[in-house]
Structure 1
């Protein structure tokens, strides 16, 4: 097998290639889909001819709706959802209900210029996506729904998001753009395209944007590392350089280099509800949560309380992509793709937004985190300085061909992806603790039952502080082939297959400090193989100074599987396409690296997707297009994040293990629904678009995992059979309208537009157990894990070619009605509170762009 893998890697790094880099174009007239070109099947095709459910955004749509991060696109895309629990810089996607849990690989692949995004380490969210600054100077963004594993590099069950940058052209051109608005919004963007020769073209671009946070922090410990800018602020720089060199008439070299650096105070949840009297481990969490709830309720809804003075969410990422395309003949094109990128991230965030002030301290006078307790927060591990540090190499060799009569189109390829750690990365996670400085373990100890620690103004710290270090390597290799044959002029048959080999290897250190004694204990159970020279168990102490000498746990997990596509397309007329297909999707197995050792490995999951679709477009008096697809997903061996606990009394004298979580293959589910998009132009200058997605998910089967010998854990928390899959949105509706005023060319083109976004209520997490109050009252948690519905209205006014000059002006307002949008839920009724991330309030801004050249 090793020889086979090396052969694929060498082939993928040799001279080769496929079709030329796509030249994307989306018509400004959204009423017609005939001019939209996509690359959903790795070749240029008209959108209406592709048997794939695709939503396409051009740069104009992105700009008019003030989309700064790729997470914002989910608002406009039925079936697409993001999890931004760890901030805007560390989002991950789900499509049609296929949700990525922490410590698993992505269910949706994000591709920039045909190359998958650099991986994260797997220890925390980050990487595997597109951060701030990825959405400038693009041809378009394509959201492909459903498994795309036959032709696209990294296997995933949900789908793919394709970002297509503008390619250097043979015209001297460019633009400079400035943006300003409320919350001290300031941005600048510039692009310059230079044809240095007929065969050598360069395109340079950069963007900087900063904006104060929309979450007002009423805590007294500061907004975070980057000053009094509020929580949820923006501050990023991004640069891009592209070069096209035509080495011969048949040989093109296309290179893209990108760099992004983003820093913010991060985004934390808000207390949404509280239950006075509810206890947690003998502490009246409900009373303290209710006190925080009342303090925040005195202000507007966009108010939170931050207890980490150095709260932050930062990323630094760079990537170089090289594509060499050789038109070997009129019928065969070869492409070689090489890429190398690095991702580094830092995350200090309160995961639940709790800010419980010591009862002996007057609110507003607290000066240290040791006076403020809470449920849980995560922090950079001081021995690494990074929570995420990973490099990713990608090599792909692709050959595409067409028969002489044009009836057979085919492509074959080999793919390799190697992601190496950039040293160790990790976090410190504190639970039920109040810490002045977690990096020095300044967390006053508590003497129960009065929960007030000895010392001056100390507060409760009776839970756990886990130190976690890891280095993770991913290896992914695949070969694939796909072909389409025109059985008749109207009927086409397509079949494709891919075989993938995946492996994850980790070196993990999980440590639990005993603060009073200055020693560590391994955070893993007994009976596992370790790399240290002596046997260390979960109850063997060793000095803090020796953390690199013990507690190593090295594991690996391999998986392999075929994926395939079988489909039929039927075109009764040129502008109508009917299609049916069966797709097998696969997501690799892996390691839940900070879970208990005996529950770390988990197996691959798979899905069988059956889809029927119709695509149609028309011209005439009211031109337009209508696309609809219906799908049924049979999802098995599902990777679920489940809580594990040590609840049964230990008889061997070992201490009770702290609560943890692990990924287990414990489920099978069905996901079914449909998506429809209608675009029409009822009269000259008017464009209307409607998109709706319906999704119904159901957990069919759950199997409780068994615990291996030596595991201290004995209890697992399972969701309910029959419940929907968390974070699957049943209803999403988008309605947009744009009207271009009938003005003379000398005035310019003025367009008034708006978009209404409706998201139905959905379950974010399973409801917890009932919380019991001191007075015997039971606070039901039924429905506590459900996110309510929301309605958001965005408006924009665009004036292109102002006064006949190459100047464009835009005024935009987002969330006009100041709708309070809840993005997700932390359901903790058993601990006295419910919290959740909330979306942005009303924001406005103006943008001015000067264009030069053609």
Structure 2
């Protein structure tokens, strides 16, 4: 399983603070004595084409925010972007990771070697696997590029890119500090200090801390859980030995630990027979039938429970604000990211050399069955208790006395851990000629290493291991090697055909070399590691034509049409528990987009884009026999986006955006783990008593081979793994048809040099699917809307401020994504939910 921690602030606030943004946000944060609103139309500078340009001059669908716009809209981290950017979605995932989705494309696969469709960049440096330093404090700007990045960014991200640029040291002494307190015992501090050392050297330091006690009660321990303690600090140095050369060094440290839930809710319509665990007919508060789980099958075989007995009958099921877990969960992550960029200008040319280094390590521990069993084991062991393993790297656990405890009932623990390291080197050369032609060329190298370890422990597995003297007495997915080396050369050329027409053409050659070493263990030692290698090459790029009609006194207009070719590398399927292909293929996309960007009377911006994607081999995954199995399908995506920002007088601004998506899967088939019969009459799902998985039998086979009981050894009986269902015409997951948002801010001067402002933001999205099978109602995620607001008083020179801010004020139960557990865990559905209502008082000042 792929394990990644959330962005640090997302550990605290998860994914739900509403923030309405627009492309007309402030680009600078210098104090301004006039009473203005944060949505006023000002030029913002972006680096969407790896050079500084006004956002209105870039022929790409981009939404960008300066620091004041981020603060006004309560955008604290990358998780908040799902409510800022049209056609952007965010959700936590089941093993501590996150999934950013742009225009229906994101991290739709799990496993080592799997790449995300949305590339994250920190000060221009691509972060393989994301990164927790998407925490938004002391930032220059955040940019979201929508559409395939076939030339300049990332490793050819097929969905888009999120670029974070931190503030660089300035030649003036300045500082700021603010404190925050709120409900759920939230408290935090943010501070910054900028010091000029010499005329050519300046340093800057910034930090943020936040603690949050969580919004879910663990009825077993009596503690409030789903909270975190976060600390992050950043140091920056800028050296300008001449007016032609700039050297920037930035290093960021982050530590976050807490007791975050694996998922905020688990739902199930209990299967009374137990061959499925949870019925595919609907969802609701409940727990899977213990008989359907691998732990339950083993408990029956070891004589710990009677056949068909369910010790979880009557146990408390998760209900959103409360759970009953055997123990409080644990989440921890630590990260370093450092970047060094050297820029030198000579004549009309600019050379950039970017070096980046990053490390990350962390783990999570959780109760995977989300409940406390009430029924006790039969007294097979002395005292009626089973010595139960702790995660043991030597794979012996209870066989060597290495135990978490001894239990007289079903007890389980899941632990995932990982650590990674990356080096990145990129060089670019860009021209700025006086004539009609310019170019940008570059080269890219990434060296990324990762190790992962995943344990699932259950008291019944330990009982079987002790009886059979078989190791390990737990399930372990061990991945000591998951390496990547990526090479690329790229370039673009820009030609002004006339005073109003510009052409852009770009190409990128990419070579990815991947290596994976792993094994699945359960009562299976000795077992060798499985080693795989994968090398792929691809040529991608884009072509753009821009037309800017002669400027009028009241209207500035840019129109464009573009074609992009995107690519995302393939990866590996874990081996050992199910016979599947060792690798899955890359995905490719052809994108066509048309758009227009306009500024009217220097007070209104209106930007529009329409697009069509044709995907060949889009990567998707599902969990089969405790392994992530990745598949490739074809798909088409058609959509449009509209963003409007307007300043009305000196006191009022409004911003509106809308995104529309129509996604359709091509001619593909897949076995649905929820219902392996595929809904076909004459078939019944059979529980595989050897693995906890499922297969299918015809009615005749059921009575001839299984005496009418849907439990048996699927492989020995020659039963089919399932009936594939057609996916043709179904929609992609995490791709709502509509995303709408509206924001308004009013500001005015009061009582001398004081300024008062009030802002409200509302974001809504239509219902969408949680899985590619589109099975109604269990795959449908209902529509939701979130309201945020804040009231602020500050000095006109911004020397101090005080505000009250609230997020999710309607306390909406906003589900952002889902995960269906493996058949060996009963096919329960985990739901990821945006945070509950939050209110905070924030006070701060600048000097």
Q: TM-score, normalised by structure 2?
A: 0.78
8 Å Cα contact 1:132/1:236 also seen in 2: no
Secondary structure at the aligned position of 1:825 is classed as strand
Report the equivalent of 1:410. 439
8 Å Cα contact 1:70/1:130 also seen in 2: no
* Aligned counterpart for 2:260 among listed residues 259, 266, 273: 266
- Once the two structures are TM-superposed, the CA of residue 507 in structure 1 deviates from its matched residue by 1.7
RMSD over aligned Cα atoms: 3.4
8 Å Cα contact 1:503/1:590 also seen in 2: no
Alignment map for 1:616-627 (pairs within 5 Å): 616-619=598-601, 623-627=603-607
Number of matched pairs: 710
Cα distance 1:797–1:601, how it changes in 2: closer, same or farther (>3 A)? same
Secondary structure at the aligned position of 2:666 is classed as strand
Report the equivalent of 2:757. 751
* Aligned counterpart for 2:325 among listed residues 285, 306, 319: 306
Following the alignment from structure 2 to structure 1, what is the Cα–Cα distance between the partners of residues 49 and 559?
A: 17
8 Å Cα contact 2:86/2:740 also seen in 1: yes
8 Å Cα contact 1:308/1:369 also seen in 2: no
Cα distance 1:304–1:839, how it changes in 2: closer, same or farther (>3 A)? farther
Deviations 1:213-251 (A, max 9, x none): 122222x2x48xxxx4412x1211111111111123322
8 Å Cα contact 2:188/2:208 also seen in 1: yes
Following the alignment from structure 1 to structure 2, what is the Cα–Cα distance between the partners of residues 38 and 734?
A: 23
Following the alignment from structure 1 to structure 2, what is the Cα–Cα distance between the partners of residues 369 and 766?
A: 41
Secondary structure at the aligned position of 1:72 is classed as helix
8 Å Cα contact 1:398/1:413 also seen in 2: yes
Q: TM-score, normalised by structure 1?
A: 0.77
Alignment map for 1:568-717 (pairs within 5 Å): 568-574=545-551, 575-593=556-574, 596=578, 598-619=580-601, 623-644=603-624, 658=625, 660-665=627-632, 667-702=633-668, 715=721
8 Å Cα contact 1:51/1:569 also seen in 2: yes
Cα distance 1:612–1:81, how it changes in 2: closer, same or farther (>3 A)? same
Structure 2: runs of 5 or more not aligned: 1-25, 31-35, 280-284, 290-310, 378-385, 387-403, 672-714
8 Å Cα contact 1:786/1:825 also seen in 2: no
Following the alignment from structure 2 to structure 1, what is the Cα–Cα distance between the partners of residues 41 and 277?
A: 60
Deviations 1:675-723 (A, max 9, x none): 1111112333111111111111110121669xxxx99996366662211
Following the alignment from structure 1 to structure 2, what is the Cα–Cα distance between the partners of residues 490 and 415?
A: 33
Alignment map for 1:117-516 (pairs within 5 Å): 117=127, 119=128, 128-131=129-132, 134-218=135-219, 220=220, 222=221, 228-231=223-226, 233-271=227-265, 273-281=267-275, 288-289=287-288, 301-309=320-328, 311-329=329-347, 331-350=348-367, 354-355=370-371, 357-360=373-376, 370=407, 373=410, 378-380=414-416, 387-405=417-435, 407-421=436-450, 424-429=451-456, 433-434=458-459, 443-445=462-464, 465-512=475-522, 514=523
Following the alignment from structure 2 to structure 1, what is the Cα–Cα distance between the partners of residues 271 and 358?
A: 51
Cα distance 1:289–1:324, how it changes in 2: closer, same or farther (>3 A)? same
- Once the two structures are TM-superposed, the CA of residue 726 in structure 1 deviates from its matched residue by 1.5
- 1:813 lines up with 2:806 in the alignment: yes
8 Å Cα contact 2:326/2:372 also seen in 1: no
Following the alignment from structure 2 to structure 1, what is the Cα–Cα distance between the partners of residues 235 and 187?
A: 23
Cα distance 1:662–1:289, how it changes in 2: closer, same or farther (>3 A)? closer
Secondary structure at the aligned position of 1:60 is classed as helix
- Once the two structures are TM-superposed, the CA of residue 61 in structure 1 deviates from its matched residue by 3.2
Following the alignment from structure 2 to structure 1, what is the Cα–Cα distance between the partners of residues 421 and 413?
A: 27
Structure 1: runs of 5 or more not aligned: 1-22, 120-127, 381-386, 436-440, 448-452, 455-461, 515-520, 522-540, 543-549, 645-657, 769-780
Report the equivalent of 2:28. 25
Following the alignment from structure 2 to structure 1, what is the Cα–Cα distance between the partners of residues 519 and 263?
A: 29
Following the alignment from structure 1 to structure 2, what is the Cα–Cα distance between the partners of residues 475 and 427?
A: 24
Cα distance 1:83–1:276, how it changes in 2: closer, same or farther (>3 A)? closer
Following the alignment from structure 1 to structure 2, what is the Cα–Cα distance between the partners of residues 275 and 704?
A: 23
8 Å Cα contact 1:410/1:484 also seen in 2: yes
Following the alignment from structure 2 to structure 1, what is the Cα–Cα distance between the partners of residues 413 and 738?
A: 32
Report the equivalent of 1:786. 780
8 Å Cα contact 2:544/2:563 also seen in 1: yes
Alignment map for 1:753-772 (pairs within 5 Å): 753-766=759-772
